[in-house]
Chain A
Amino acid sequence: MPTFVYMTRCDGCGHCVDICPSDIMHIDTTSRRAYNIEPNFCWECYACVKACPQNAIDVRGYADFAPLGHSVRVLREEEKGTISWKLKFRDGRQKDFVSPIRTTPWGSIKSPSDYEAPAADALNTQELAHEPDALNIDALPALSPDQLKQDLP
């Protein structure tokens, strides 16, 4: 189900261009609106559908199994931390889904450059930078030496 853009809703902000992992969301040179330049190369990850702040991107079913009359729309509500999907089938059935996007407030994740650079002796530890603090746990689960089997053949 590749994506397409409702031209009247798109304001050409470029979020979809930035986020598309397949680099197929581009800006039209006549209308300066986004469009999917190669629908058959679409990974159907829906990153652009979810990212679009204008709800201007929809997905189109392949004509052989989802012909006409259906729609898949998404509403992302950052302040609530939710993403809602409304699927309309061509026979009139409708399905609504609401899912949590994340468990922490929107915008609260620090970028790697916001953390302090680790000290040089951190190279001697088994932990990665900022573990375990950045995982919000006291310690990584690990076996102590006395828990290991001794004298293996």
Chain B
Amino acid sequence: MFTINPFAELSAFIPPIIMQTYIVVMLLMVAGGTLFDIIHKKSALYFFRNWRNSNGKATRQVGSGEMTSLAIQTAVVEVLASGEFCNVRRRIAHLLTFYGFLAYIITTVIMVFSYPTPAMPTPAILPMLWNVGGLMALVGGYWFWFFIRVDVAAEGNSPFRLVRADLFVVSLLVSVTVGLVWAYVQVTGNTTWANVFVSLYILSTTVFFGSVPWSKFSHMFYKPAAAFQKRVEQASGSSNLPDPADSPEIYGSSRQQPRNF
């Protein structure tokens, strides 16, 4: 099962050109949804107004070389290593979901566009990465959903309570779960159930990519921008935050015996 390209098997029922068109439409929905979100919520307006305000308060000029270095640091620490998370469990769950989903989605695109039919043998590594990526995303996602999510962990709500903030993670988990189940059922040869699951797979995937304006899908664009701005603010001295305490030996870290009496 782990070495079979599920999309090549599916090409007997759905022509490859339809699958390829579907992927392009989903990509356009993400781009369009994000642009709509930016205009509707005025996120870009707010971001650049903040940027101008903080530039006005800057105590030193950040050069283009330093700006590039800050951008690279943001990409490596905040994006690739999920460095913004203060909770270690959340960070690991996010890394699992992030890299798992990336592997899953990239292999999906490669298999649908380059190996769409059984006539073109798929290298075993692609379906393997598709399965492993999907499982990684599910482990991280369900861990987050049932144990780490702040609604459950801090507010004590039931893990089964659904609110709009859950749209992104729920549609992601349902889409990947149903996708993996469909691939398994298809291998077993049960055509009826395979058709049921592939229908659910298409439905949940369409909700996932089509709900960008209402979900937090576009956080993949907003969060790096906010993290970059935070780094630039710190470097230019325009941050409102206090400077780090520079005399710890005076201000507290020299250990003293308590003077309770």
Number of interface residues of B (CB under 8 A): 35
Nearest Cβ on chain B to A101's Cβ, whole angstroms: 6
Q: Could you list 13 examples of A-B contacts with CB < 8 Å?
A: A15-B86, A17-B154, A26-B155, A27-B155, A73-B240, A75-B243, A77-B245, A80-B253, A84-B243, A85-B242, A98-B247, A100-B253, A135-B260
Point out the residues of chain A lying under 8 angstroms from B244, CB to CB.
Answer: 75, 77, 80, 84
B85 at the interface (CB under 8 A from A): yes
Query: A101 vs B253: C-alpha distance in the bound complex, in angstroms?
Result: 9
Closest to A30 in B: B164
**Contacts of B204-261 to chain A: CB distance below 8 A:** 216, 222, 226, 229-230, 240-245, 247-248, 251-253, 255-258, 260-261
Are the CB atoms of A80 and B252 closer together than 8 Å?
A: yes
Point out the residues of chain B lying under 8 angstroms from A15, CB to CB.
Answer: 86, 154
A8 at the interface (CB under 8 A from B): yes
Stretch at the interface among A102-110, A113-121, A122-130, A143-151: A102-110
Are the CB atoms of B241 and A55 closer together than 8 Å?
A: yes
Closest to B165 in A: A32
Query: A99 vs B242: C-alpha distance in the bound complex, in angstroms?
Result: 12
When A and B form their complex, what is the total count of cross-chain residue pairs whose Cβ atoms lie within 8 Å? 114
> What 14 new A-B contacts, CB under 8 Å, besides A30-B165, A80-B244, A82-B248?
A8-B222, A11-B84, A13-B85, A14-B155, A15-B86, A26-B155, A27-B154, A71-B240, A75-B243, A80-B248, A81-B251, A85-B242, A98-B245, A135-B260
Could you tell me which A residues sit within 8 Å of B by CB distance? 8-9, 11-15, 17-18, 26-32, 53-55, 58, 71, 73-75, 77, 79-82, 84-86, 88, 96, 98-105, 135-137, 141
Query: A73 vs B257: C-alpha distance in the bound complex, in angstroms?
Result: 30
Point out the residues of chain B lying under 8 angstroms from A79, CB to CB.
Answer: 253
B9 at the interface (CB under 8 A from A): no
Point out the residues of chain B lying under 8 angstroms from A18, CB to CB.
Answer: 154
Q: Which of B163, B165, B257: most chain A CB closer than 10 A?
A: B165
Nearest Cβ on chain A to B246's Cβ, whole angstroms: 8
Point out the residues of chain B lying under 8 angstroms from A26, CB to CB.
Answer: 155
Query: A67 vs B90: C-alpha distance in the bound complex, in angstroms?
Result: 38
Query: A99 vs B253: C-alpha distance in the bound complex, in angstroms?
Result: 10
Are the CB atoms of B90 and A13 closer together than 8 Å?
A: yes
Point out the residues of chain B lying under 8 angstroms from A17, CB to CB.
Answer: 150, 154-155
B61 at the interface (CB under 8 A from A): no
Are the CB atoms of B242 and A86 closer together than 8 Å?
A: yes
Point out the residues of chain B lying under 8 angstroms from A13, CB to CB.
Answer: 85-87, 90, 150
Point out the residues of chain B lying under 8 angstroms from A8, CB to CB.
Answer: 222, 226, 229
Given A13-B86, A73-B240, A84-B245, does the pair A99, B252 have CB atoms closer than 8 Å? yes
Are the CB atoms of A14 and B154 closer together than 8 Å?
A: yes
Query: A80 vs B244: C-alpha distance in the bound complex, in angstroms?
Result: 9
Partner of A14, one of B153, B226, B240, B257: B153
Query: A32 vs B165: C-alpha distance in the bound complex, in angstroms?
Result: 6
Point out the residues of chain B lying under 8 angstroms from A28, CB to CB.
Answer: 165
Partner of A11, one of B85, B153, B163, B255: B85
Nearest Cβ on chain A to B115's Cβ, whole angstroms: 38
Nearest Cβ on chain A to B216's Cβ, whole angstroms: 7
